[in-house]
Every structure is written in structure tokens, then in C-alpha cells.
Amino acid sequence: METRLLESFVALARAGSFTAAARALHLAQSTVTVQIRTLEKELGTPLFDRLPSGTVPTAAGLRLLEEAEAVLDAVARLRATASGWHGDAAGGTVAGQVTIGAADSLCASRLPSVIAALRRAHPGLEVHLNAVGTAAAVDGLRSGRLDLALVLEPEVDESDLPAHRIAELPLAYVAAPDHPLAGRTAGWEELARESFFVHEEGCSYSDRLVRALQGVPGTRPGITRFGSIDAARACVAAGLGLTLLPEVTVEGQLADGRLAAVHGPEAPPVPVQLVRHRRRWFSPGARAVTEELTAAFADTSL
């Protein structure tokens, strides 16, 4: 059995459509179609249901997926061994692709400089960055769409996804400079009478804030959720309300006066957890990215 057939099978299972799988593999869609048919004929069973909404693995396809990924991981290890890799970023040339899933706030702040440093150190390494929430990060690691993930959660309670806390991000309440609470100290009762623009549901610190605001008796706080940190920050800068965000995402706006701090109730720092899949091969590229991420978040001057 040719590994290219398994590569197309895994790509299709991950992507959910022949078009997306072909794009990911840099192949013509017709080529992927032929390879999947060849694999199904060789195994003697359909691997996908072709639906109007896309492709879905059959029961046989689901059984095959984990084994196919294990075979491709083994092939990748063999290739790395043949290329002379010795498992130390300082002792070998890192090449290939690594896909990171991370919270939007990290994609907009800390990670661009990390990717730039990796590009300088390892020109042959392609690092792709996807903004995802925790649930999508977990799904991406399990499906193989992601090699690593950075999630903003106190704990990652998934036995197959070991997590390592690499940093804690302080949070800040902010408002427009001319907002009545700008520069002032405000308690929960006062805050709960305001409008808040916060990150989408599933964001641990935003969810905690919303629960606290909605738990104040006799108040009806205005809550607007966004999938983008930029959108929430822009609404607040326009004077429409307040937000609670990691300080790193508002440092520039606080420094140049576009936003002002509000001294609200204590908000615990949000942990940054670096997560990977336990059973998947920890490739040289993923190892190099992990080392750079750990060093970058340890450097509080960045």
C-alpha cells in the first residue's frame, strides 16, 4: 500500500471535502478522488459517505483513521532519521510544516514575533497559525489538523492531550478615555450596570466575567460577544462600553491613550497552556516550535 493513498485518506478525513483535501495536499481534486477510490478498492470497503454537505468517514473509515495516522507518523520518523536529525534543534536542520492553534488574543499579540524568530532560525520550517477556541483546539489536535495548541484555560482535562503551563497573562478592565469609569475604581454593582464587549463563549476569563456580572442582583448588564479581540477592543475604544482582556492585547492602546484602565474587582491571571497529542510523533519541527514558544513566554519583556 502506498503512503500517498493514506496521506490523501487522512487529509480528506480531516478536511471534510475533496476540494479542501486537494488544496491541503497541493494536488488536483481529480487526483485525490482517484487515490481514495484506489484505497477503497484495495481495502474492499467504502471509507467515506459522499454527502451534499461534504464527505464523512464511514465506520470503516473511522477505524482506519487512527491506524493510518500512526503509519504516517512512523514514515515521518523514518524520514527524519534518514535526514540525520538527532532530536536537538541546535544540532540539525528543521524543515517541514507545523500548525499551531491558539486563542485569538495570542494570535494578535505574542505569536507573530515567535513565528518571525522561528523563520530566522529555521528557514525550512513553515509555521501556520490558526485562531481557535479551546473546543476547536482539542478537536484539531485529535483530528491531526493541529500539531500544537495554546489555550487559555486553568486546566486541560483530556488524558490524551498533555498540557504544560508556560505562562500566566494578567487581565485588565479597559474603557474609552472619556468613559465615566476611566481611571476609577469600580465594584461589581457599578460594573453590572454597564455594557461589556467580551470574547466569544468558551473563553474562560470572559465566561467567568459574564457569570459574575449576571450574578449581581437587580442589574441587567449588557453583554455582547465577539469572535475577535479586535472587534471588542474597537467597540470599547468607541465609547460603547467596557471589556476585560489580557493586558498584552491592550498595552499599545493604553500607552497611546486610545484606551484607559478601569480598576475593577480582582481578575485572576489567565494561564497559557501548551498542548499536544500524546500518541502523535513529536516531530523536530514541533519540538523547535515548542522550545521557541516556551522561551518567548518566559521572557516577560516581550
Average pLDDT of the chain is 87
Least confident of 14-28, 83-97, 181-195, 250-264: 83-97
Are 142 and 198 in a shared domain? Answer: no
Domain boundary among 47, 82, 117: 82
Pairing of β 125-131 and β 96-102: parallel
First to last CA, the chain: 49
- What backbone phi and psi angles, to 5 degrees, belong to 166? -110, -10
pLDDT of the residue at 85:
47
**93 confidence band (pLDDT: 50, 70, 90):** low
Are 184 and 255 in a shared domain? Answer: yes
Which tops the pLDDT comparison, 262 or 203? Answer: 262
The beta strand positions in the chain, using DSSP E, are 48-51, 54-57, 96-102, 125-131, 148-151, 163-169, 171-175, 195-199, 222-226, 243-246, 260-262, 270-275
Residue 289's domain spans which residues?
91-168+269-302
Are 148 and 221 in a shared domain? Answer: no
Residue 278's closest CA among 145, 166, 163? 163
pLDDT of the residue at 261:
97
CA gap 103, 101 in Å, rounded? 7
CA gap 165, 34 in Å, rounded? 44
Are 47 and 180 in a shared domain? Answer: no
CATH number at residue 279: 3.40.190.10
Burial of 267 (0-12, 13-18, 19+ CB in 10 A): middle
Classified as helix, coil or strand, 41 is helix
Quick check: 13 and 61 in contact, CB under 8 A? yes
Are 36 and 110 in a shared domain? Answer: no
Are 19 and 64 in a shared domain? Answer: yes
Q: How many CB atoms lie within 10 A of CB 213?
A: 21
Are 178 and 258 in a shared domain? Answer: yes
Are 227 and 185 in a shared domain? Answer: yes
Are 61 and 190 in a shared domain? Answer: no
> Which percentage of the chain shows pLDDT scores above 70?
93
Are 4 and 76 in a shared domain? Answer: yes
pLDDT of the residue at 87:
45
48 pLDDT exceeds 90? yes
92 pLDDT exceeds 70? no
Which tops the pLDDT comparison, 110 or 198? Answer: 198
Are 67 and 97 in a shared domain? Answer: no
Q: Give how many domains the chain has, as a whole number.
A: 3
Are 155 and 240 in a shared domain? Answer: no
The dihedral built from the CA positions of residue 28, 31, 32 and 33, taken in this order, carries a sign that is: positive
